Amino acid sequence: MKSALKYNALYRSTVIIWMVLKFILQIYLFHARYNVWDERTNAKWDKLLVKLAKEYRKKAIDLGGVLVKVGQFFSTRADFMPDVFIQELSGLVDRVPPMSEAYAKALMEREWGTRLDQHLSYFEPHSVASASIGEVYKATLKDGSNVAIKVQRYKIEKIFHKDFTALRIVFWILSVFTSFGKKADLKALYRELVIVMNRELNYQKELSYAKYFQERLKDNDAVHVPIYYESLCTEKVLVMEWIGGAKITDLAFFYNHHIDVQKVAKTLFDVYLDQFINSGYFHADPHGGNILVQENGMISIIDFGMVGEVRKQDTNYFKQLIRSIVVDDYDKVIETLDEMNFLLPNANRKKLKKMIKQTIELYQNGSFSNMDEHTMEQIKDDISIFIKDQPIQLPAEYAYLGRAMSIVVGILFELYPDVDIQKWAKPKIKQWFGGFVEGIYVQTAVDMAKPLLSFPKAMLHFLESGEKDRQWDKEKQKKQLKHQFFVVLELITFVMVLCSAGLIIYGVHISLQPLTISGIIAIGLFIIMINIILFIHYRMIRSSM
């Protein structure tokens, strides 16, 4: 029964919307209960967020579809998502139950228009990888070539497009009933999500990206992109060369095969730095499972479902930012950030200018001369605090770029703890700017790239200087909290009335009497609840007039 409901649009929408409304209610209740945010309150807040994130992750794995991809997307958004939530959501990667082997075979035959034995001499029955959109199977072609076959999951395209409707409702609720809507451009976020997810649904698009990286990396003998068998590739099936080896983070594999760790780390750094600073596409999901190392030390990059783009204009923006910083032209810095769509309309540009100037002074004072893993973690925490407190939103492509950069840097430090990013980056940055530029531009670019555009602890001086303004905003929000709380309760009960009505209709449609009776009982209870809440809310409004 539950398995069948999983593909029902009304059921999926009800689960998704109700989960979000429940999350909002719990957050409102927490803020209403705790007025003083001390260390104990912060610990309880983090505990609540972990609880919500775990519930989200469980629902995402159960339902699949958009929930998984939204979770993965938001795990890239340190600009507005709490760290504890991001850590839980990161567990969504490749943790999806496998699909039926029979369905996979049937889909392949339908896509190819022939029986499998016309093309395959062997098909391994159990998938070797299971993700939110597709499954990967190992097989052998008639000519003896070992291949990996990526097959799209059952009804995944229909599920995604059904979920987009629920997602649009969720974003409307967030924009109307939470302060989140004031901090983020939710319409833009929705568009970004839909574009990114639709792109992943079309395997022909992934094939075109793979061919792009084959061409881009063809002169690099230390890196390999798998060969794709285009005659067998469709919108729902991909057939590519089978790549063995081990995850690039498997140090035991390096030692067992006498592979030069430093050489591999340097190759990895060069390949991804080129993607991050030069125009073109970049591999947006470079985790250990998608970067393999062969026995001879060659790196193999696989899975191009998630790809971002650095436009030529983006590289011009990056260079303009560095030039403006070098000549202390912070008005130009703000102007450039505005052109990059980093600043929301309500941004206080004077405050941002002051903050950026104070932050850059820390670079000039050599605050990052001794950077270790602890420092990197501290920087990550501080950039999260900064972005969440300020009217800044990372456009989706920059968010994916930042995520990819942080993953690669994490792999580098795990692979080769003695990595010297400054030494390795300097010649690349010099080439990037052009040989005619002054050394100061190169050095500034290297210093900025080293902490990956993060901000140190001392920037809290700026945040503390604006604490009075933020405190006034908090007091204002508290006055509105009770009213918003009742509005949310009214919305929740109203939505549940609609959902109960939908349950009744669905129960009648499938002739399931217990489901119909449950819907009738539920709709009666929620109608009583909404009347009680409206009465209490009315009395509260009258007493405050």
Higher per-residue confidence, 147 vs 519: 147
Output the CA–CA distances (angstroms, integers) from residue 303 to 77, 118, 226, 289, 379, in the order listed: 22, 26, 9, 9, 30
Higher per-residue confidence, 441 vs 524: 524
Give the model's pLDDT for residue 428: 83
Structure tokens at 267: 């190759």
First vs last C-alpha separation in the chain? 51
What's phi and psi for 536, nearest 5 deg? -65, -40
The model's pLDDT over 110-159, given as tens digits with 9 standing for 90+, comes to 999 999 999 999 999 888 887 778 889 999 999 999 999 999 988 888 88
pLDDT at 305 over 70: yes
Mean per-residue pLDDT for 17-29? 85
Torsion, Cα of 429, 434, 439, 444 (10° steps): -40
Higher per-residue confidence, 3 vs 111: 111
Give the model's pLDDT for residue 459: 37
Residue 293: band (very low, low, confident or very high) from pLDDT cuts 50, 70, 90: very high
Alpha helix segments (H runs only) across 64-140: 66-74, 83-89, 101-112
State whether the Cα torsion 272-273-276-280 is positive or negative.
Answer: negative
The model's pLDDT over 35-67, given as tens digits with 9 standing for 90+, comes to 777 888 888 888 898 898 888 888 888 887 788
Higher per-residue confidence, 106 vs 420: 106
Highest mean pLDDT among 185-194, 400-409, 512-521: 400-409
Give the model's pLDDT for residue 540: 61
Contacts of 263 (CB under 8 A, 6+ apart): 297
Mean per-residue pLDDT for 495-501? 70
DSSP 328: T
What's phi and psi for 308, nearest 5 deg? -110, 180
Give the model's pLDDT for residue 283: 93
Q: Return the residue matching tokens 């003998």.
A: 221
Give the model's pLDDT for residue 355: 75
If phi > 0 it is left, if psi is from -120 to 50 it is alpha, else beta; for residue 258 that is left
**CA-based angle 215:217:222, to the nearest 5?**
145
What's phi and psi for 512, nearest 5 deg? -110, 95
Give the model's pLDDT for residue 485: 61
CA atoms of 449 and 426, how far apart (whole Å): 10
Percent of the chain, pLDDT > 90?
Answer: 24
Mean per-residue pLDDT for 538-543? 60
Mean per-residue pLDDT for 295-308? 91
Give the model's pLDDT for residue 466: 40
Give the model's pLDDT for residue 146: 96
- Mean pLDDT (the chain) is 77
Run of H or E residues at 502: helix 467-509
Give the model's pLDDT for residue 118: 94
pLDDT at 543 over 70: no
CA atoms of 128 and 349, how far apart (whole Å): 51
DSSP 99: -
The model's pLDDT over 224-253, given as tens digits with 9 standing for 90+, comes to 999 999 999 999 999 999 998 999 989 999
Torsion, Cα of 204, 208, 211, 215 (10° steps): 180
Output the CA–CA distances (angstroms, integers) from residue 260 to 223, 249, 413, 417, in the order listed: 15, 13, 15, 14
Residue 509: band (very low, low, confident or very high) from pLDDT cuts 50, 70, 90: low
